[in-house]
């Protein structure tokens, strides 16, 4: 293979393809030149860019050219140029025996685009994650502590203690035990009827006779008794004269 011819022919072809962008740095002992590559969006102010610098060897294209990266833009903390060099070397090995600079430039251009897409995606994910964290923090400000059965019971117990409810209940229980019979009787109206349920008519009449006579009245031939407890009893089958004697 005529290496000089192959190399000279490739340089002429590359100069036509990258006219105005390709810069020849040296011609002897071997050609050395640079070609710029950039990712999508770089011209709009964001993206990645650099120059690929190629130096032929005596047996190129049967061996790889020397590849360097220069004038990196936006590589800091984003792109490891050693990864790009490794990627280009792998592509070159697949094309040994053939002129390969155009293939390597295209591979480098594609690598920058893919890398920049990853960078953009990671940025968007970080922004979304921050927005989500901010939204969750804002919601927690309004949600407060979630209430469970256990937390509610604990809160109610403490609330009653703070309000003095247990002590109040205890005082009320003690006060209730100190009520007189009359007070209990007046508070519980069921006591008005409880004993009377067990009395027959005769016993009931006898009980009524124990009340003051002034509390009895004759109404329509019947005796109307008004006892101190406040209820009335009428006797239809009692002769008023006989009973008053």
- Whether the per-residue pLDDT at 224 is higher than 60: the answer is no
CA dihedral of 123, 129, 135, 136, whole degrees rounded to 10: -170
| Residue 201, pLDDT score | 52
- What DSSP letter does each residue of 141-199 carry, written as one string? HHH-SPP-HHHHHHHHHHHHHHHTHHHHHHHHHHHHHT--HHHHHHH-TTHHHHTGGG-
198, pLDDT greater than 80 = no
- Distances from the Cα of 182 to the Cα of 175, 178, 186, angstroms: 15, 12, 6
Per-residue pLDDT tens digits for 124-149: 899 999 988 888 887 777 766 677 88
Q: Return d(Cα 165, Cα 153) in angstroms, integer.
A: 15
Any residues with CB less than 8 A from the CB of 105 and at least 6 apart, and which? 18, 35, 37, 52
Digit-coded pLDDT (tens) for 41-77: 888 878 899 999 999 999 999 999 999 999 999 888 7
Structure pTM? 0.54
Cα 232 from Cα 221, distance rounded (Å): 16
Number of H helices and E strands in the chain, helices first, is 9, 7
The Cα–Cα gap between 176 and 244 comes to 43
Residue that has been written with the tokens 């004697």 in this structure: 245
pLDDT tens-digit readout, 180-196: 666 656 665 555 555 55
pLDDT tops 70 at residue 166: yes
Confidence of residue 214 (pLDDT cuts 50, 70, 90): very low
Q: Which residue has the tokens 């040994």?
A: 96
């Amino acid at each position: 293979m005529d290496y000089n011819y192959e190399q000279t022919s490739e340089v002429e072809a590359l100069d036509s393809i990258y006219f105005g962008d390709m810069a020849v740095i040296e011609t002897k002992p071997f050609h050395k030149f640079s070609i710029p590559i950039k990712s999508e969006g770089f011209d709009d102010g964001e993206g990645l860019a650099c120059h690929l610098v190629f130096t032929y060897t005596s047996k190129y294209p049967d061996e790889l050219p020397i590849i360097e990266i220069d004038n990196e833009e936006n590589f800091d903390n984003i792109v490891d140029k050693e990864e790009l060099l490794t990627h280009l070397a792998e592509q070159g090995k697949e094309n040994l025996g053939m002129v390969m600079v155009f293939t390597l430039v295209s591979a480098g251009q594609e690598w920058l685009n893919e890398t920049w897409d990853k960078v953009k995606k990671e940025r968007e994910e970080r922004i979304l994650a921050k927005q989500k964290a901010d939204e969750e923090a804002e919601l927690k400000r309004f949600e407060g502590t979630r209430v469970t059965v256990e937390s509610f019971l604990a809160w109610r117990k403490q609330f009653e203690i703070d309000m003095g409810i247990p002590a109040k209940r205890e005082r009320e229980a003690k006060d209730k035990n100190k009520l007189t019979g009359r007070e209990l009787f007046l508070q519980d109206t069921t006591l008005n009827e409880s004993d009377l349920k067990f009395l027959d008519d005769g016993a009931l009449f006898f009980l009524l006779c124990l009340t003051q006579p002034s509390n009895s009245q004759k109404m329509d031939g019947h005796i109307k008794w008004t006892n101190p407890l406040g209820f009335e009893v009428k006797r239809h089958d009692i002769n008023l004269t006989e009973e008053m004697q």
